[in-house]
Amino acid sequence: MSTQRPLHHHPLPAGTPVIEFDHGRPGSVTPDSPATDVMTDLRHTPAFTTEADAPANQALQKMMHAGVRLLLVTNSARHVVGLITARDLMGEKPVRAATENQIPRDAVTVAQCMVPQQHIEVLDYAEVLRSTVAEIVLTLRHSGRQHALVLEADGKPVVRGIFSAVRIGRQLGIELQASGQMQSFAELEQAIAAL
């Protein structure tokens, strides 16, 4: 004898919105919130990747469609061989690569613009677990970067997460200007001081 039963239907109330997707993170945070509240955890959110031989223009389109400003560059074994940011692709790197290699700009590849693996610095996940949002902002500011990768080293090392200054700003309740890195950090620090 089965204990299964159909569920009850109810009319949909007028004016019912669709729930906002929260990416698994708290909507708003404070400077004293755990750092993990502003980390994109790649265990719960898929990483956006590209290949080194992909056209640079295609990588930029992928970023725009995904709403991200960083792609991990991976090989066929899904090992990280570099990273590429929107700033890399919209700045002088593609123009310089085209000029130096005497190729059209649309022939420039991700490999010619990316930050190679040996130049990527990462944060330790164990230390991130003991850190606050304010400490992550300070870390990004001191590195002069808009993003930071987080490495989990329990067993075989894996890229566990990504911090984004723009996303942290949104979660702190401020919109950052995309025009300048120093301006963005000044806004973040001002917001933290005001909270």
pLDDT digits 0-9 by tens, 51-83: 999 999 999 999 999 999 999 999 998 999 999
Residue 195 in 3-state DSSP?
A: coil
In a domain, 9, yes or no: no
CATH number of the structural domain spanning residue 112: 3.10.580.10
Classified as helix, coil or strand, 61 is helix
| 22: its two tokens | 């929260």
pLDDT of residue 182: 47
Q: Which residues of 55-79 are buried (b: 16+ CB within 10 A; e: fewer)?
A: ebbebbebbeeeebbbbbbbeeeee
Would residue 99 count as lying in a domain? Answer: yes
Q: Which domain holds residue 67?
A: 35-194
Residues of the chain whose pLDDT is less than 70?
Answer: 1, 19-27, 175-195
Residue 101 has phi, psi (to 5 degrees) of -95, 0
Q: Using an 8 Å Cβ cutoff, are 116 and 83 in contact?
A: no
- Give the span between the Cα atoms of 151 and 166, in whole angstroms: 20
